[in-house]
Structures are given as C-alpha cells and as structure tokens.
Amino acid sequence: MESGFNPVKPGKPEISGRLTFEALSRENWDKFVALFGEKGACGNCWCMAYRLKKPEFEAGKCNDGNKHLMKQLVWKNQPTGILGILNGRAVSWCAFAPREVFLRLENSRIHKRIDNKAVWSIPCLFIDKRFRRQGLSVLVLKGITDYARKNNIEIIEAYPVITAKDLPDPFVWSGLFKTFEQAGFLIADRTSGNRPLVRYYTKVSTRYVAFLRGINVGGRKVIRMEELNQMFKSAGFLNVRTLIQSGNVIFDAMTDQIAELTKELENLIRNILGYEVRVFVRSLEEMRAIVQSGPFVEKEGTDRRKYYLSLLASPAAKKSRLPFYSANKDLEVIRLDNDLAYIVSHEVNGKYGFPNNFIEELLGVDATTRNWNTIKKLVKE
C-alpha cells in the first residue's frame, strides 16, 4: 500500500517519496526498533502497555522486558501493528490488532465494548518526531483503513483525545480526534467526553429507517426515544436519530440484507425490553423515492383530509379494487404499490379515521402506518 507524502512545513525537514505500509514482522523488526529508539518510544513501553496487566508492564520496563515480549509476539506471527515506511525507513507505527488482545481496553470502564462484533483496535499511534505536525498521521490512518479493507477487517476502533490546546506528545499516544475525523472515523460512543470511542467501517454503509409498529399507543409498549436511540447505538449502528414518539429510527448499517437487518432489530428489542415489536425497515433512499412519486396533492389551508402511508410486511395477500372505502367512508385506499398502501382519511362527524387496523384486515398482512407529514420530515434529515 502506498500513499504520496510531500509536505513542506517551516522548521521541519523537507521530505518526499512514497509512504508504504507493512505489518510488523521478522523482516522489518530492525526498522521498528530503529523507530522506537532506546526508550522504546516512551518509557520503555514498546507498545505493550495495552496488552499487559499493570504490574507485568511495569516489570517489563527493566532489562528490555517489554521489548522481548513484543518480539515474541512478532516471532509467533501474532498481529501487532503496522509500520509506515518512507524511503526505506520506518517513520510511523500504529498498534493494530483484534481488540481482545488489548487487556487494558477489555477492562476499561470508559471504552467498554458497545456490541459483540469483531473489531480491530488502534490504541496507539506513534510518529517519528522529525515528521510530526505535517499531516502524516492522517495518511497513516488511511493506510490502516486500506490495509484493513484488503484483509477483510470490517470494523476498526480507536480512542483518540479531544483537546482545545496542544498537549505534549506523550499525552496523545492514542491520537487526536481531529486526525481520526479527517481519516473518516465516526464517533460510536461518548461515555468519555474527551476520549470518545470512534469507528471506521471498511464496507460501505447504507442509511436506513426503522419503523416500529404499535409502540407508545394507549400506554402499551412504551419506549422513550432516548432509550431507543441508545439501544441502536449499543448494537453498533451509527448516526442514530429518532423522530416523533411513534417509533421512527434513522441509522447507518453496514449491510444491504434488509430481511436479516429486520430480524436483528426485532431480536435486539425483544432481548432488551422483553416483548415483541414488529419492525419495518426501508432504506432512506427508497423513502425519498416514495415521497417524490407519492400520489398525494395537498391544498394548502383548505385541505380537510389527512394522508397516510402504510408499510406492509409483504405484498398484499388480498386484492381489492381501488379506490376502496371503509364502512363509514372515513378511510379511502387510493393506491397499492407492492408493499405500500396510500390512504386518505376524510373527516366524518368531526373525526378522522386512523387506517392501520383497517389496512391489515383489508389486505391480510401486518402493517405499520405513518402520517404523510412524518414521512416527509424523515426524508429531509
């Protein structure tokens, strides 16, 4: 893997060339040692602080103990990290391995696992001091994400620092948040205000909307939107946002398998809340197309009708000639599109009908229904 690196910054040596990335191995061990120097990067750490219990780590600072432990891992072909090589010498190091090998992370109170997905972690980032503050860190992180993508590593996690002032280099070994942000990482958890847990997904994410059926109705199946938001975040979904108490969640997921995603969400809710909730999932792109092609034409200020969209669990089991009216003419189904039903609610005796039960009985399938205004708000996010 290569990356162009040709910055010029006052007070720093002018450097140029191709930055390449190599997993630490026997073949490049000497380059790693040269980069870390006599102090083992800092205080004879040799990047073992996150891998060992504190007493073992402190003992390893003497007689090159931590250095020997790192070397043993390398000689056993264990994943340890990635070197950035510029003109034949190592100029950067990024600790990079499955999260479970870093004991300090696994025992952390502020960086607990947020889900049970397979994750590789970046607990430490080290740059040759001659090349710091020149944008090299961003290129290093992009090199790591490229390496992960080529090696089928789907989720990368890191724990950078948010700070408004410059800190001494030894205090930012985990990297700066702004650096990770520039490399495409997103905040996944903010248990720690100044050291968020960030993630990078090597697979392209899709923006989805999950519609929950029958919650917060008549005091049954009550779910606070804050609780629902946290529930989705705890399952590893990103950019989670809720809209209105009827149960609408917008989120990013690294899958295009909607049936599997739907089952995962229903299981998630059942396991946490202890009861069943039917979930209907659509991509945000699909919902935008639905709004653009919708049949409703509202008359501003004079319209005495309400408009609804019902999402069906499957195409209608029963066929009906359209338009179809409810018994008292307050509901009118004007269009059926595969697994969608468009309904107009008319005022009858000063009241408007809500169509969900009517649609389920009429078409013979489970459904969840939203006001058309809610749908339009969703797609504008």
Domains defined for the chain, CATH in brackets:
2-201 (3.40.630.30), 206-286 (3.30.70.1280), 296-379 (3.30.70)
* Residues above pLDDT 70, as percent of the chain: 91
In sequence order, what are the residues at sequence separation of 6 or more whose Cβ sits closer than 8 angstroms to the Cβ of residue 14? 8
pTM of model > 0.85: no
Inter-CA distances, 307 with 133, 176, 267, 353, Å: 56, 49, 31, 11
Q: So what's the pLDDT on residue 14?
A: 47
The band of 359, judged by pLDDT with boundaries at 50, 70 and 90, is: very high
Q: So what's the pLDDT on residue 316?
A: 81
The band of 302, judged by pLDDT with boundaries at 50, 70 and 90, is: low
Rama region for 39: left / alpha / beta (φ>0; ψ in -120 to 50; rest) = alpha
Quote the strand ranges of the chain, DSSP E: 2-4, 18-23, 81-86, 89-95, 97-98, 120-122, 125-127, 155-158, 186-189, 197-201, 206-212, 238-242, 248-253, 279-283, 305-312, 324-325, 331-337, 340-348, 351-352, 367-371
Q: So what's the pLDDT on residue 3?
A: 55
- Side chain identity, residue 126: F
In sequence order, what are the residues at sequence separation of 6 or more whose Cβ sits closer than 8 angstroms to the Cβ of residue 149? 202
Comparing 22-31, 162-171, 315-324, 354-363, which segment has the lowest mean pLDDT? 162-171
Rounded mean pLDDT of the chain? 88
pLDDT of 345 higher than 50 = yes
What percent helix, strand, coil does the chain show, rounded to 5?
A: 30, 25, 45
Q: Are 366 and 213 in contact (CB under 8 A)?
A: yes
For residues 192-215, average pLDDT: 90
Q: Are 81 and 96 in contact (CB under 8 A)?
A: yes
| pLDDT tens digits, one per residue of 192-203 | 989 999 999 998
pLDDT higher for 10 or 68? 68
